[in-house]
Amino acid sequence: MKQSKIKILLLAGVAILALSGGFSAWNYTVSPSLAAEDAHGDAHGHEEGEEKHDEGKEEQHGHGHEDEHGHAEGKAEEGEHAEGVIPLSAEQVAAANIKVAAAGPGQLAREVSVPGKIVAAADRMAQIVAKVGGTVTEARKNLGDTVEKGEILALIESREMAEAVAEYLAARRAEELARTTFNREKGLWDKKITAEQDYLTAKNGHQESKIKLDLAKQKLQALGHDGEVSSNGNSRFHEMRSPLPGRIIARELTLGEYVDTTHSAFTVADLSVVWVETAIAPGDLPFVKEGLMANVAGSGGKADGKLIFVSPAIDPETRAAKAIIELDNAEGKWRPGEFANAAIATSAQDTDLILPKEALQSIGGKPAVFVRTAQGFEKRDVTTGREDSRHVEILSGVSFGEPVAVSNTFTLKAELGKAEAEHAH
């Protein structure tokens, strides 16, 4: 306090001298102690100001950091997708060949399910047997080859064929001679030059020669010859031809082998249509009628067929009735010999909401479907009810008219698994 008073008095004196114009003649000094105190006070004030400034900056920086962090968290939340959602554009959906259909009412079939076996259609298959005995000189077709109707499969050199051709040629020459004789005798008879007996004898001889020629020609045709005989020396060969278009499914001859009329040389089948042979239990026979549709499933996929035959008799060994389902096989997916399962639709039940079985996937042990949204697809757990071989009843989880993926849903299941794995990571 004392030093402050002294300082105030000195400053007052300096002010008086300055007012009187004598300030410049004085050498004003401040004691070191006062100067140090002054300097300390000024420094302390400056430091306090700087501290306040730094606190302001830190506070400002703190708020900025908090805003930045909050903004970053917001971005992260914005980049994440809700659980069960698969983002896909329309182009990606089309590229994955995912078809969408609206959930709606339909019919579930009451079915009789039976195992069966794919076989070649009996009315489109031929066992080709040599019509004459002889030696195989040429085999033109192998297993699996495609053939046309009338195409040559093999050549067989046969003595029987040579004798039949010779007999036909003799009959043809005899007919030509008899015809010439008859024409001459007829001309003479018309002119009343020859006797009637000679005319009638020539006429009778011509008729007999025609009968013998016809018989020789029919014999050739029965042996597989077309009846047109040339002098090129090939008349001794029997041509084995296919009676229908199809494929060679069996070949049982080799070059140089002797074959006879009991030897099955080739089996040709038209596999554009195949049969499913199955058996119907007696308890199901009242519901199964010819003409009903059946859904067949096997290694060839799934296809709809028609029940074309139900045996009126019960097999004493199997205690079941044989039944045949006809399947279109233009694409060659079904192979004779493989096994398949057939579901014969005997009646239909109206259902409020159904979906194809291809629409459902098992996720986490529960049935689920994928509903189309503006962003892609959303996984939806569902409760199922009755079902047949192609459709299933939906009790809850999907509403009427909602668009649901009905094909290639395994792709969506895989995408969902990847998304959940990345989210967990």
Domain end call among 268, 300, 330: 268
Q: How many helices and strands (H and E) does the chain possess?
A: 6, 22
Same domain, 150 and 197: yes
Question: Could you read off the pLDDT of 101-134 as tens digits, one per residue?
Answer: 999 998 887 888 999 999 999 999 999 998 888 8
Q: Is residue 100 part of a domain?
A: yes
- Domain termination site, one of 243, 268, 293: 268
Predicted confidence band at 228 (pLDDT cuts at 50, 70, 90)? low
The secondary structure of 361-400 as a DSSP string is EEETTEEEEEEE-SSEEEEEE-EEEEE-SSEEEEEESS-T
Burial 120-159 (b: 16+ CB within 10 A, else e): bbeebbeebebbbbbebeebebeeeeebeeebebbbbbbe
Q: 361 with 416, same domain?
A: yes
Same structural domain, 356 and 373: yes
Residues 129, 150 within the same domain: yes
Q: Tell whether 192 and 131 lie within a shared domain.
A: yes
Please give the pLDDT value at position 79.
39
The CATH number of the domain holding residue 139 is 2.40.50.100
The tens digit of pLDDT for each residue in 142-179 reads 998 999 998 999 998 888 888 888 888 888 889 999 99
In a domain, 159, yes or no: yes
Convert the pLDDT of each residue in 348-383 to its tens digit.
788 889 999 999 999 889 999 999 998 889 999 999
On whether residue 81 sits in a domain, the answer given is: no
Q: Per this entry, what is the length of the chain?
A: 425
Are both 246 and 297 inside the same structural domain? no
Q: Are 151 and 240 in a shared domain?
A: yes
Q: Which residue has the higher pLDDT, 258 or 420?
A: 258
What CATH number is attached to the domain comprising 117?
A: 2.40.30.170
Q: In the chain, how many domains are there? A: 4
CB 296 within 8 A of CB 116: yes
The residue out of 280, 312, 347 marking a domain boundary is 347
pLDDT tier, 286 (very low <50, low <70, confident <90, very high otherwise): confident
Q: What is the CATH number of the domain that holds 105?
A: 2.40.420.20
Write the pLDDT tens digit of every residue in 312-344. Answer: 999 999 899 999 999 999 998 999 999 999 999
pLDDT at 29 over 80: no
Domain identity same for 129 and 262? yes
pLDDT for res 125: 92
Report if residue 401 sits inside a domain: yes
Print the domain residue range for 187: 125-268
Closest CA to 300 of 339, 271, 345: 339
Same domain, 249 and 228: yes
Cα–Cα distance between 114 and 174 in angstroms, integer?
Answer: 66
Outline where DSSP puts E strands in 104-165. 104-120, 125-129, 134-139, 146-147, 152-157
